Structures are given as structure tokens and as C-alpha cells.
Structure 1
Amino acid sequence: MSGERVKMGIAGLDDMLGGGLIPGSICGIIGTYGTGKTTFSIEFVWEGLKKGENIIYISLEEREERIIGYMEQKGWDVVPYLNKSLFVIKLDPTDFNLANNRIKNELPKLIDEVKASRVVIDPISLFEDLFTLDSERRQEMFRFVEGLRDKNCTIVLTSETDKSNVFSSRHALIEFLVDTVILLRYVRASDLTDVHLALEVVKMRMSAHSREIKPYELMQDQVLVYSEANVF
């Protein structure tokens, strides 16, 4: 699919995505701890802010000041954007009724109110954890994701991997609901070699994309995806 893309703000990754995400699509970034899910998300946010877009960042794990602090550590001056074009909201996933209501009912309204073009929920897996029954989780997540599709925005959802399967999200659900899946993981040639970070675009609806596994680095001021290199 051709046309203007929504840049992630990570050059090598945007190349692998055929230029970026498709406008209005939903992307899932799946990875275990330390692979940079939040870092990828804030790069996506900063790219939008630089373009004059309005953005909502829903955090179910880190406090607002920590998310803002991560951005400032990269040398980004985000203060002028706060509560004007950047809205960072911390939700407590242990309060089921509050978190469930705010994500399902208030978020769509907020997207309309602030005219957000980019939305991040980090990590959506903590929202999935609110449901005890698999059947209820599938039903509620399907309704939620389909409701977001009615909004004129591009969405990034991060998810932790399953403890026993680094290729699957915690509940093996998000990857079936979203349009694009980016998998982040650790790789090594053997137990005696250094650990490398690698990513792959597992899925991307309506677009050609790279299916290769590529190494990446989490630097202080940027993420480097080596789209022309091999992992080993």
C-alpha cells in the first residue's frame, strides 16, 4: 500500500515498515524486559511532536514524571508540549473498575477532544491482566481494539512476552488484533557469546514489509536499527 506513512522516528525500522506505519493502523510492539518497548514508544511520540501532532500516552506501569524523564534524558525539551499537544496519563491497573472504565470509555472521548493523531498504551498486557477468564479477555479486547479503529489516529500498544515463549505476547492475543506486530528479543549464537538485541516485523497488514531479523541498539539519544546488517 502506497501513500504517506506515519513514521516511527527510527530510521532503520521505518525502512523495514516500507516507510512507516499505515495511518490509522494499530501496531503492537512485543518484547521481554529490557528490549526497549517503552523506548520505541517514546520515539514514536517524539516524532509526532516534532511534526506538530497531538499525542496521548497512557502508562499502566510508569508514573507520568518517569515517562517525561525518559524523554528529557534523550535531550528532548518536552515541557512546552505537556498538556497542550502531549498528554501523559498514568492509570493504576490494580483498580479494575477505574482502569477498565478510563481505557474503554474515557480514552475514545479524549482522543476526540484533543484531536490526537497518535496514541500509545504501555503496556496493554497489564490491561489484559484485568480479566480472569480468557473468553472475557478476548471479547473485551476485541471490542476495545475495534472501537479504536473508529478514531482517526495511529496507535502503538506495547506488550510483554509470555514467560515461556519469547515469540508470543503474554496472552497470545494482541498479535491477532493489531495490524502490525514488531517483535523485540535477545539473541545469541551460543551461551558463551554476547547477547544482541534483534527485531523483526512479524506482521503488517495492507503493506509489503521486511521479513528479516535485524539487530538494533538502544543508545542514550536514539535507537539504531541496522536494517542493512545481519544479526550474526
Structure 2
Amino acid sequence: MSVDEERVRMGIDGLDEMLSGGLIPGSFAAIVGTYGTGKTTFALQFIWEGLIRGETAIYITLEESEESIVRYMQVKSWDIDQYRNTTFFVLKLDPTNFNLSINSIRNDLPPLIKKYNAKRVVFDPISLFEDLFDTDSARRHELFRFVDMLRSEDCTVLMTSEADKDNQYSSRHNLIEYLVDTVILLRYIRSNESSQVHLALEVVKMRLSAHSREIKPYEILSDRVNVYSEANVF
């Protein structure tokens, strides 16, 4: 079996190479970054890669409406309409309604995954879900419960998280990094010699797999993300 067949490809040039071919099937990954680093773009490209490979994907959002997500993908020239409500489903949660959001995750998500045999699930952003809880202990308990619930499903899960406002190397609540198998950190880098700002990423964690530990530049293009795995950040 080839590396591509063994791995769940992100569909992002350069990043899959850094991940030794992609994510491990059935694993959990988190993309952590501050505003403007393209977390949602990474997540949607992960979804799109699955759809064009014939997989079913579920996108759970606490920020954007389904219409805005679809419109964003259309701007990328991705023909998403052919997949809507057949192999692509959006579950919109209300971050202001605690009980409704929690019940939707517990009661609606697992049957949806099973019914359509979903292979890819995105949660964007998990940090807003974490914000629903008042204490660190409640937050930790519910996230552990969420991860355990999905561990029993035959799908690969990708979450996005806002970085801590005081530490761009950590998620907002400094918790999701410990629960997932893979952590991809997105951040800005400004060289000492120049005022120009570059986007850069690193794979800071990947369980049960070799992976690149180098910091690599990336670019958000009109139709895709490119990670320049052969280049150095300067």
C-alpha cells in the first residue's frame, strides 16, 4: 500500500509532505493560529480534498453560516454545489446557546457520521466551543468526552483553534494540544532585517509518525494554500 493510500491527505502542497503523506486515518488534528493566518482555509481545503476523493465530510461551525462557507469555497473555484447535502454537510451550532450546542454535538453528530459514513469531520473553531464552559475543569471534562465520543467513529477529525492572545504558540485555553494527535501551528514571522511579515507553520506534534520539525513558509493563494516545504523562513 502506498503512503497516499495509508494517509488522509490534507490536500495542501508541502504540508502533506511534512506529515509523511498526510494525517493518520482516525486521528485527531488541530490547527492553531492567530487571526488572519488561514485556519478556516486550511480546514476547508481538507474538506475539499476528501470530497474530490469520493469521501463524505461534515463541517461543524460556530461562526459562519452554511451559505457563507459555501460562498467562500465557490470563490476558490471549488464546485461545492454538486456535493451539498449528498456528501457534504454543515452543522451550524449557536455559541450563545449552551444547551442547544452541547445537545447537537452529543445527539446529532454521531448519527450523522454513521448515516453517511463520513470520513472527515471539521470543527471550526473548537475554541468557541471551549468558551461555552465557565471553568477549566468543566472545559477539560467536556472536551475529553467529545474526543472519546468521536474516537469510536471511523473518521479523521480536524479542529481549528484561536491562539492565546498573549502567546501565539498556544491555543486559547491551552488544552486542545494535549487531546489531539497532531498539532499544526500557524503564525506570523517578521525578519529582523525587514518589515515584511511572512506566514509560517510548523508541525509541533504528531503521534505515531515521523514528521518534519522545521518551520516552513506558506502562502494563501486564490484557489489553494501552498506550503513551501523546500524553502526556509527568512
Q: TM bucket by the smaller chain? A: over 0.9
Aligned counterpart, 1:34: 36
What is residue 159 of structure 1 aligned with on the other side? 161
Q: Is this contact kept in 1: 2:25–2:155, CA < 8 A?
A: yes
Task: Tell whether the 8 Å contact from 2:30 to 2:161 is kept in structure 1 after alignment.
Answer: yes
Which of 206, 210, 222 is the equivalent residue of 1:220? 222
5 Å matches for 1:86-101? 86-101=88-103
Q: CA deviation at 1:143?
A: 1.1
TM-superposed CA distance for 1:7, in Å, is 0.3
TM-score by length of 2: 0.96
Q: TM-score, normalised by structure 1?
A: 0.97
The reply to whether residue 45 of structure 1 matches residue 50 of structure 2 is no
Residues 169 and 185 in structure 2, CA contact (< 8 A), matched pair in contact too? yes
Identity of counterpart residues, as a percentage? 66
For residue 105 of structure 1, report the CA deviation from its aligned partner: 2.6
Report 1:1-232 matches (<5 A).
4-190=6-192, 192-232=194-234
Q: How many residues align?
A: 232
**Per-residue CA shift, 1:51-95, capped at 9, x if unaligned?**
110110011111111111111011111111100000012111100
Unmatched runs of 5 consecutive residues or more in structure 2: none
Structure 1 residue runs of 4 or more that deviate by more than 6 Å after TM superposition: none
Does the CA contact (< 8 Å) of 2:76 and 2:223 recur in 1? yes
CA-atom RMSD, angstroms? 1.3
2:29 counterpart letter in structure 1: C
Supply the AA of the counterpart residue of 2:7.
R
Runs of 5+ in structure 1 lacking a partner? none
What does the per-residue CA deviation read over 1:102-149, in whole Å, with 9 as the maximum and x for residues that have no partner? Answer: 113321121111110000010010000000011111111111111111
Aligned residue for 1:207, secondary structure, equals coil
Superposition deviation, residue 162 in structure 1: 0.5
